[in-house]
Structure 1
Amino acid sequence: MTHAEEWKVGVYLIEDGGTTKARAVLDNGKSTMVGRGAARCNPQDLEVPAIGDELAASRAMRDLAGQLMRAADKDLLAMGAAPPDPRTGYGWPEDAGP
C-alpha cells in the first residue's frame, strides 16, 4: 500500500534586544503543532544574528519533534501497542544500520 502526504513546517524568527525567539509550525493538513525555542546573546559576546537564529530555530524544531514523538507514543498505546522501551522508544533504534 502506497501512502504519500506533504507536511509543511514554517519557522518564524523574531530578534529583540539580544534575544531571538523562534516558532516552528507544523501543518499536516488536519492539525497544527507549534514548537518554541529561544536564544540569548551573552552581553560579552559579539552579536551575530545568524547564530541566534540557528540556535532558536533548532530549539523550536527539537520542541516540535518531541511533541510529534509524544503524539505517536499516545497513538500507538491507543492501538494496543506495548509501552515503549525508554531507551529506544517505538520502532527501530535510530542507529540501526543495514
Structure 2
Amino acid sequence: MPQHTQDWQVRLHLSEEEGTTKARAVLDIGGTAVTGQGVARRNPHDRDIPEIGDELAAGRAMNDLAQKLLTIARTDIEGLSHPGP
C-alpha cells in the first residue's frame, strides 16, 4: 500500500501598530489558500512587550486557521456521505 506524505507550510505575517498586533496565517492546500486572522491589543496600562502581542495574535490566527481547515474537512466528508444527483 503506497504511503501518502505531504509537507504543508504555514506563512505567518505579523504587524504591530499603536498597541495592536495583527497576525495572518496562510496555508496553501493544493492551490487553495486558507487564511486565519488574529488580533491582540495591549492594555494601555500594561508594559509594552511586543513578543507577548506577537504570541497572542499568532496563536489566535493559527486557531482561526485550524477552525477553517476543520470546516473544509467536514464539508468534504459530508460531500462523500451525501453525493449529489
Matching of residue 15 in structure 1 with residue 42 in structure 2: no
Runs of 5+ consecutive residues of structure 2 not aligned to the other structure: none
Aligned to 1:39: 40
Runs of 4+ in structure 1 off by over 3 angstroms are none
Structure 1 position 41, deviation (Å): 0.3
Structure 1 position 20, deviation (Å): 0.1
Structure 1 position 6, deviation (Å): 1.3
Of all paired residues, the percent bearing the same amino acid is 49
* Higher relative contact order structure (alpha carbons within 8 Å, sequence separation ≥ 6): 2
Aligned to 1:89: none
Structure number having the greater helix percentage: 2
* Code of the aligned partner of 1:30: G
Runs of 5+ consecutive residues of structure 1 not aligned to the other structure: 82-98
What's the TM-score once normalised by structure 2's chain length?
Answer: 0.91
Q: Tell me how large the CA RMSD over aligned residues is.
A: 1.1
Q: 1:22, 1:56 within 8 Å by CA — same for their partners in 2?
A: yes
What's the TM-score once normalised by structure 1's chain length?
Answer: 0.79
Task: Please state whether the residue corresponding to 2:35 is helix, strand or coil.
Answer: strand
Structure number having the greater strand percentage: 2
Aligned to 2:27: 26
Per-residue displacement from partner, 1:5-42 (whole Å, max 9, x unpaired)?
A: 11110111000000000000001232111100000000
State the distance in 1 between where 2:50 and 2:38 align. Answer: 15
**Structure 2 counterparts to residues 48-59 of structure 1, below 5 A:** 48-59=49-60
Task: Please state whether the residue corresponding to 1:65 is helix, strand or coil.
Answer: helix
